[in-house]
Amino acid sequence: MPDAPTVPIQRTSAGWRLPGIANLHSHAFQRAMAGLAEMQTDPADSFWTWRETMYRMAARFDPDALRAVATQLYVEMLEAGYTTVCEFHYLHHAPDGRPYAPASAMADALIEAAEATGIRLTLLPVLYMAGGFDGRALDARQRRFGHDVDGYLRLFSDLHARQGAGLRVGCALHSLRAVPADAMDAVLAALPRDARVHIHIAEQVAEVDGCVAVRGARPVAWLLDHAPVDARWTLVHATHLDAGEIAGIAASGATVALCPTTEANLGDGLFPLRAYLDAGGAWGIGSDSHASVSPVEELRWLEYGQRLVGHRRNVAVGPASPSVGATLLAGVWASAAASTGFAEADDAIVLDADAPLLAGATPADVADRWLFAGNRPLVREVEVGGERLVVDGRHRLHAQAAHGHAGAMRRLLAQ
């Protein structure tokens, strides 16, 4: 494993100051169903049965509901220490599949939520075309997600033209099972050279088996052989890898977006972290379905999962970085610009140095104490682009966003 970069943590008069954290994978609307998919519906409950609950919730959203839920979510993210979010956005159309007027109405709701809260947004409109590796048509519940290639590129072009200081627009390929190979090639050929590309891949064992059956190769192996995967790419989950795929991702320069709380909630499996670190691979974290909105919990359970399966402690370390916390934070900071498209260095969070959990902390141990010492929120201030958005642990829209979210949830749950 390469030497970890120096962890930029400073003690200031306000507290412990460190860079903001990028959330590399978000489906904002799914925050509305957090805690609502924990009733058994099948003795073999899995991602595939959870998806039925997701479809039912997705069918209830309109732009107003999405704006309200996303605003509340982005407030939560900022209060937790996330300063950038990659929004993997596939809830494009009306429930019957007809485009809104304008066709970007749902994406507009996300942009407006980000602008209101001040979080940096990497918006990733999703290409979603097929219901499986066999190319079957989208079913009725998936139609609001779908585009043909031309329609997708029109949406992408419209959104990309609106990039600004707080907005980047990239491309998301939903998954290999949802994007035929020829469509992937056409879209990639049409993208700007600097566009970020994100894709769900190898999240479930059934997905791996389906790819092998139809395309004759494991998903990551197939992608590396058929697409120009490089540092612009982010592979979301990549849970089920063999040794060759681990080496291939690392060599490509792509980032893997790990979402430990969602992967655990769905029963997906554990990423082979130690082998990937040894290969020198880039990685970051995301809150995905938002069962939790906390970089502390994502990083803590990334490490704890490895401890549980490996029967050892302090896994995410290296010769030059014996601190687990420092190594984990260095990893997320190192991958942020490549995955999000934002290279700004003026985003920061400040931890409460007066909190009991940080009593007597030093630069050598503050990262470990923040990530592994308890559950009290320690983020005191958050700055994005030099603007202070969180003061004393509360975002400036804390009450307003909660009120709007409550109204939206009442409407969503009444349907």
The residues assigned a catalytic role are 237, 288
The pairing of strands 348-351 and 379-384 is antiparallel
How far is residue 98's CA from residue 79's CA, in Å, rounded to a whole number? 36
H helix and E strand count, the chain: 14, 15
* Residues written for the chain: 415
How far is residue 81's CA from residue 383's CA, in Å, rounded to a whole number? 9
Under a CB-based contact definition with an 8 Å cutoff, are residues 97 and 128 in contact? Answer: no
Q: What token pair was written down for 229?
A: 């995967």
Peptide bond into 192 cis (omega under 30): no
The H or E element spanning position 257 is strand 255-258
Q: Which of 220, 307, 318 is closest to 260 using CA atoms? A: 307
Q: Which of 262, 208, 266, 200 is closest to 235 using CA atoms? A: 200
CA angle at 77 for the pair 75 and 78, rounded to the nearest 5°: 65
Q: What token pair was written down for 115?
A: 């602008």
- Amino acid residing at 163: Q
How far is residue 230's CA from residue 252's CA, in Å, rounded to a whole number? 5
How far is residue 235's CA from residue 256's CA, in Å, rounded to a whole number? 5
- Positive or negative, the CA dihedral 253, 259, 260, 266 is negative
